[in-house]
Amino acid sequence: MLYQVEMTVLLPTDMPEAEMAEIKAREKAYAQDLQRQKIWRHIWRVAGQYKNISIFDCRDNAHLHEVLTGLPLYPWMKMDVVPLCRHPSSIHEDDR
């Protein structure tokens, strides 16, 4: 089941650089692992912003919650979640 999630990152400007680099490295590894599992289907950057737009494919709402709150950057993120379904005008049987 698909969800669009918009993640806005709000890191404090005085966070030590080493700490920031370490969290971002863990974030990237986590994100890539979920992409390989086909759970995190797409991730795009919003031009000019520290924000991404992503498409998740989860078993249900609880699974989505678990995946999102597991993000290393989660405590500094604002999340906007939109539940999606297939569009009748889509030419794909299953557009993930």
Which residues here bind a copy of itself, judged by CB under 8 A? 1-5, 12-13, 27-28, 31-32, 35-36, 42-49, 52-53, 55, 60-62, 64-65, 68-69, 75-76, 79, 81-92, 95
Nearest alpha carbon to residue 61 among 2, 8, 16 = 2
The sign of the CA dihedral 15, 18, 20, 26 is: negative
Least spacing, CB of residue 18 vs a copy of itself, in Å: 16
Least spacing, CB of residue 21 vs a copy of itself, in Å: 13
How is residue 45 written in tokens? Answer: 């950057």
Taking the C-alpha atoms of residue 50 and residue 89, their distance in angstroms, rounded to an integer, is 32
Least spacing, CB of residue 92 vs a copy of itself, in Å: 8
Taking the C-alpha atoms of residue 36 and residue 74, their distance in angstroms, rounded to an integer, is 20
Least spacing, CB of residue 54 vs a copy of itself, in Å: 8
Taking the C-alpha atoms of residue 80 and residue 6, their distance in angstroms, rounded to an integer, is 5
- CB closer to a copy of itself, 21 vs 32: 32
